[in-house]
């Protein structure tokens, strides 16, 4: 590993093409696929990476016989910054191609899981549109859905189970991302050896809770609330402390969490989705929805596509995270 050396020219020699090549290679695209996406030859992509490493004075990717083995420590340190530069550049160009968003918009966001990327996207939208007044309300996903009419929310982002269909046909829904739901615990458990399952879950109305109880019922198991909380952090901490078995999406797992799957005999759980609902027909609402839909942080390139699984809902709120 080389120590990065500062250059008197700073980053003025680094181009967007250098960064795009590095990011694509870091994502495991390979020189050939990266070249196709950048409309450049493999040798040109190789030269871009080499030039970037020469400018930074450090090695970013481990390579062996023309194959990328992974990121170096310096590469891991540089990748978030490279992604941020490309994201902001893309959003700035897109924003300038559209009329400036103006007016007052009331947005609902869920507070039962970390949404740092969502907050960042909203913040950047406000920076690029100085005449836009954003008012953000945070609540449980199930509560946000019911607040659309009562509180006049223009745009709502919530978590729900796959294939969510809005109850009001006037609402337009946009799928932002989807990921698998997992059984998790602080230690391994064998499903068949458990007479009943102690659950660390969100309150009644939560889609994670509904999916867990339905899966247990289908497999002849009884589950009870060993720890119930509406707090995302409390749920994660309770699982880590060994207070029971939780049901969380892949992005919410902590380092101390162990996934309980087929090997332990646990039943499959459905996919969970982050959905944006455009509740009003204001032009500014449409503009903001378009901005968030195309935001690189809301639609990360490294999110995998997973296979679908069907789960039936037992109540109107069964598909919503509470």
Domains (range + CATH), the chain: 16-83 (1.10.10.10), 96-179+272-294 (3.40.190.10), 180-271 (3.40.190.10)
Q: What is each CA distance from 248 to 188, 206, 288, in whole angstroms?
A: 16, 11, 29
Tell me the C-alpha distance between 214 and 319, whole Å: 12
Look at residue 10 in the predicted model and tell me its pLDDT. Answer: 53
DSSP state letter for 320: B
Look at residue 314 in the predicted model and tell me its pLDDT. Answer: 29
Contact 121, 170 (CB under 8 A): no
Contact 162, 273 (CB under 8 A): yes
Tokens encoding 101 = 């968003």
| Chain segment 161-208, per-residue pLDDT in tens | 887 777 777 888 888 888 899 999 999 999 999 999 999 999 887 889
Tell me the C-alpha distance between 212 and 201, whole Å: 9
Q: Is the model's pLDDT at 219 over the cut of 70?
A: yes
Q: Is the model's pLDDT at 14 over the cut of 70?
A: yes
Q: Whose CA is closest to 288, among 147, 112, 160, 153?
A: 153
Tell me the C-alpha distance between 276 and 285, whole Å: 11
| Chain segment 86-141, per-residue pLDDT in tens | 877 877 787 677 676 777 889 998 865 555 566 777 777 777 778 888 888 888 88
Tokens encoding 202 = 């969100």
Q: Estimate the crossing angle of helix 116-128 against helix 283-294, to 10 degrees.
A: 130
Q: What is the torsional sign of CA 142, 163, 177, 219? A: positive
Reported pTM: 0.60
Look at residue 177 in the predicted model and tell me its pLDDT. Answer: 83
Counting beta carbons within 10 angstroms of the beta carbon of residue 89, is it exposed (0 to 12), middle (13 to 18) or buried (19 or more)? middle
Q: DSSP of 278-316, one letter per residue?
A: E-S--HHHHHHHHHHHH-TTTS-TTPPP--------SST
């Amino acid at each position: 590993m080389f120590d990065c050396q500062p250059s008197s020219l700073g980053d003025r020699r680094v181009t967007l093409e250098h960064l795009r090549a590095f990011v694509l290679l870091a994502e495991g695209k390979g020189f050939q696929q990266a070249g196709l996406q950048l409309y450049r030859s493999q040798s040109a992509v190789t030269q871009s990476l080499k030039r970037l490493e020469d400018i930074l004075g450090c090695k970013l990717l481990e390579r062996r016989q023309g194959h990328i083995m992974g990121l170096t420590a310096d590469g891991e340190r540089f990748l978030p910054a490279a992604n941020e530069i490309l994201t902001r550049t893309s959003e700035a160009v897109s924003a300038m191609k559209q009329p400036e968003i103006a007016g007052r918009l009331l947005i609902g966001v869920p507070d039962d899981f970390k949404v740092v990327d969502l907050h960042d996207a909203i913040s950047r939208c406000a920076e690029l549109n100085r005449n836009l007044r954003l008012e953000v309300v945070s609540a449980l996903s199930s509560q946000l859905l019911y607040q659309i009419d009562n509180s006049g929310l223009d745009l709502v982002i919530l978590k729900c189970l796959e294939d969510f269909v809005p109850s009001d046909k006037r609402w337009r829904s946009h799928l932002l991302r989807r990921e698998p739901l997992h059984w998790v615990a602080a230690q391994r458990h064998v499903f068949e050896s458990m007479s009943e399952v102690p659950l660390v879950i969100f309150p009644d109305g939560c889609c994670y809770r509904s999916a867990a109880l339905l899966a247990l019922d289908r497999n002849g198991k009884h589950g009870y609330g060993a720890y119930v909380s509406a707090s995302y952090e409390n749920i994660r901490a309770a699982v880590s402390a060994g207070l029971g078995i939780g049901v969380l999406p892949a992005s919410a797992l902590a380092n101390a969490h162990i996934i309980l799957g087929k090997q332990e005999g646990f039943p499959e759980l459905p996919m969970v989705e982050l959905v944006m609902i455009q509740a009003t027909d204001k032009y500014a609402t449409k503009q903001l929805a378009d901005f968030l839909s195309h935001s690189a942080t809301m639609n990360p390139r490294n999110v995998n596509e997973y296979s679908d699984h069907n789960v039936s809902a037992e109540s109107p709120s069964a598909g919503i995270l509470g």
